[in-house]
Amino acid sequence: MKRTSALLAAPALALGALALAAAPAQAHDADTTVYQTQLKALNGSSASGSVWVSVHGTEATVTENVTGLPASFNGAAYPHVQHIHIGAMGMCPDASADTNGDGVVSVTEGAPHYGKIAQTLTTSGDTSPATATDLKLAPGGATIDYKRTFTLSAETVSALKAGTASIVVHGLDPATLSPAAKAAKSDIVPSLPLAATSPALCGELSVSQMGAMPNGAPETGVTPAARTTTTDATPGILASAGGVLVAGAAAVGLNRRRAARKAQD
Ligand SMILES: [Cu+2]
């Protein structure tokens, strides 16, 4: 009996494997969410850049391209500590957050907007808040092209989903600050100048439309199984796959897929 059922099961498994092999990218992308942000300059910084956080379960790949940061500090490459901040509004502050009026929105003054440090974007090792101000692990220099894959805390994953996670890149050019701010100590690491830890760039992470629509397919909460089935060219299978889609969205999705297939033919 066992042998018979195994034999019967074999063709079904083979078909399943074929279906998956037909569209491995789609099956993977259905479980991956890409969050993106365009970084905005803070505190008179002339830097700019973008960040993408591609999340699959608790694994994230962070890709960052930034230019225009201060290049050197004390004769060495300027270390720019940077983090995913969570736990507050998920917003970037403007100059009105400068409550002490020194012309700089410090880490502490910005915290009611972007929240606490949840992950540190280090170049190696620990990515937890424990390395938040470890200058040796921080990316450095005027231009940063950063890419790293690491495990997010559950709290960070939740914040990303809730739209309350932000990226903050720290480190200002002291020459651009007022004499008082230039002389001030950091509010979070008193052994460092205020300039070293104050935010230069901030961006609010939200779901990227590019990431939400892998391969041009509309994101309708389609399960990987349903999506791979629609790659089969048989109209009957298409129709049955449509049955598991959310009503309304289903019709749009199928029409788009049909149009896409026609375009390929
Ligand atoms: Cu930070």
| pLDDT value, residue 75 | 87
Structure tokens at 92: 């970037």
CA of 33 to the centre of ligand 1 (A): 23
| pLDDT value, residue 129 | 98
Reported as a single tens digit per residue, the pLDDT across 129-175 is 999 999 999 999 999 999 999 999 999 999 999 999 999 999 999 99
CA of 121 to the centre of ligand 1 (A): 9
Torsion 230-233-234-235 (CA) sign: positive
Q: What mean pLDDT do residues 164-192 have?
A: 96
CA of 232 to the centre of ligand 1 (A): 47
What percent of the chain clears pLDDT 70, i.e. is strictly above it?
A: 68
Reported as a single tens digit per residue, the pLDDT across 27-54 is 456 799 999 999 999 999 999 999 999 9
CA of 150 to the centre of ligand 1 (A): 17
Residue 80, CB half-sphere, CA atoms under 13 Å: how many?
30
CA distances from 186 to 36, 94, 112, 135 (A): 29, 19, 18, 14
CA distances from 31 to 57, 211, 221 (A): 8, 11, 10
CA of 169 to the centre of ligand 1 (A): 6
pLDDT value at 115 more than 70:
yes
CA of 248 to the centre of ligand 1 (A): 42
| pLDDT value, residue 210 | 65
Residues belonging to the chain: 265
Q: What mean pLDDT do residues 122-132 have?
A: 98
CA of 210 to the centre of ligand 1 (A): 26
Catalogue all structural domains in the chain, each as residue range(s) with its CATH number: 32-210 (2.60.40.200), 217-264 (no CATH)
pLDDT confidence bin for 23, thresholds 50/70/90: very low
Reported as a single tens digit per residue, the pLDDT across 195-243 is 999 999 999 999 997 644 333 333 333 333 333 333 333 333 323 333 2
Contacts of 234 (CB under 8 A, 6+ apart): none
CA of 160 to the centre of ligand 1 (A): 16
Per the rule left: phi > 0, alpha: psi between -120 and 50, beta: everything else, 221 is left
Rounded CA-CA distance 129/117 in Å is 6
Reported as a single tens digit per residue, the pLDDT across 60-84 is 999 999 999 999 988 899 999 999 9
Q: What residues sit around ligand 1, an ion, with C-beta below 5 angstroms?
A: 83, 168
CA of 85 to the centre of ligand 1 (A): 6
